[in-house]
């Protein structure tokens, strides 16, 4: 099945676009400038690693400030509710945090403004 890896980078770029734009939507709803700008930067692959680093850190902070501390569910969380994102309604920040953490290390991929601008593409194949 290793032949599938030929297409991993292309799929990665589509995933980056989708998730970046979804992240930007959050900025549009709550007027969060980090979400809005980093979402578009990640989506189109401009300064990808930097934007992803900031976005990932912001989501980690958001998770611990709101979900982990029980602000989202509106009462003091039990130990289980602290630990499980599905219970403290913090699943989405966790997923954003880890996908952007991966983006920091993976880089922009071949279909990105970074790659167009002549920085060496970080493609897989």
List residues near another protein by CB under 8 A: 1-2, 4-5, 7-8, 11-12, 14-15, 18-19, 22, 25-26, 29, 49, 84-87, 91-92, 94-95, 98-99, 101-102, 104-107, 120, 122-125
- DSSP state letters, the chain: -GGGGGGHHHHHHHHHHHHHHHHHHHHHHHT-HHHHHHHHHHHHTSSHHHHHHHHHHHHHHHIIIIITTTTTTTSPPPHHHHH-TTTTT-HHHHHHHHHHHHHHHH-S-SSSHHHHTTSPP----
Which of 25/65 has CB closer to another protein? 25
Least separation in angstroms between CB 65 and another protein: 19
Which of 76/125 has CB closer to another protein? 125
Which of 71/101 has CB closer to another protein? 101
Least separation in angstroms between CB 107 and another protein: 6
């Amino acid at each position: 099945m290793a032949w599938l890896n030929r297409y991993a980078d292309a799929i990665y770029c589509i995933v980056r676009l989708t998730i970046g734009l979804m992240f930007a939507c959050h900025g549009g709803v709550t007027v969060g400038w980090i979400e809005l700008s980093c979402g578009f930067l990640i989506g189109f692959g401009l300064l990808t690693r930097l934007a992803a680093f900031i976005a990932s850190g912001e989501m980690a902070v958001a998770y611990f400030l709101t979900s982990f501390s029980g602000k989202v569910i509106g009462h003091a969380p039990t130990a289980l509710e602290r630990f499980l994102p599905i219970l403290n309604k913090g699943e989405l920040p966790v997923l954003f945090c880890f996908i952007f953490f991966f983006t920091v290390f993976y880089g922009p991929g071949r279909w990105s403004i970074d790659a167009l601008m002549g920085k060496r593409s970080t493609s897989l194949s």
